[in-house]
Amino acid sequence: MIREFRIQGYGCIQDAKLTLTPLHALIGPNDSGKSTTLRALAGFVNTLGYGANLPDPPKCEAAPITRLTGHFGREKESNDSLQEFFFARDKRKWRQVVRHAPGATGLVRDFETAKLDSIGRAQIVRLNADDLKAESHLLTDEQVALFPKDRGSEIAGVYDAIIGRGDDTFARITDGVRNHFGTVANVRVRGTSATTKGLGVKLTDGTLVNADQMSEGLLYYLAFAAMREVNNAKLLLIEEPENGLHPARIAEVVKMLRELSEQGTQVLIATHSPLVINELGPQEVSVVTRTPQEGTKITPIAETPHFKERSEIYALGELWLSYANGVDEAPLLQGTAREA
Residue range 2-121+272-333, CATH number: 3.40.50
Query: Is the per-residue pLDDT at 107 higher than 70?
Result: no
Mean pLDDT of 266-281: 96
Q: Is the pLDDT of residue 57 over 80?
A: no
The secondary structure of residue 327, as a DSSP letter, is S
Predicted pLDDT at 105: 56
**Residue 322: per-residue pLDDT:** 74
pLDDT band for 292, please (50, 70, 90 cuts): confident
Q: How far, in Å, CA of 109 to CA of 54, rounded?
A: 14
The whole-chain average pLDDT of the chain stands at: 82
pLDDT at 171 over 60: yes
| Of residues 271, 269, 272, the one with CA closest to residue 260 | 269
338 pLDDT higher than 50:
no
Chain-centroid distance, C-alpha 162: 23
* pTM, to two decimals: 0.85
Q: Report which of residues 72 and 149 the model is more confident about.
A: 149
> Over 70: is that where the pLDDT of 86 sits?
no
Report which of residues 226 and 340 the model is more confident about: 226
Separation CA 59–CA 334 (nearest Å): 29
Q: What is the pLDDT of residue 241?
A: 95
What is the residue extent of each domain of the chain? 2-121+272-333, 124-232
**Residue 113 in 3-state DSSP?**
helix
* Section 91-109 average pLDDT: 56
Give me the pLDDT at residue 239, please: 96
pLDDT above 70 for 89: no
- Check if the beta carbon of residue 237 is closer than 8 Å to that of residue 122: yes
Q: For residue range 220-233, list pLDDT tens digits in order.
A: 999 999 999 999 89
Q: What is the pLDDT of residues 206-265, one digit of tens each?
A: 999 999 999 999 999 999 999 999 998 999 999 999 998 989 899 999 999 999 999 989
Residues with Cβ < 8 Å from 92, sequence gap 6 or more?
none
Average pLDDT over residues 77-101: 56
Total count of residues recorded for the chain: 340
Mean pLDDT of 313-317: 89
Q: What does the pLDDT read at residue 43?
A: 81
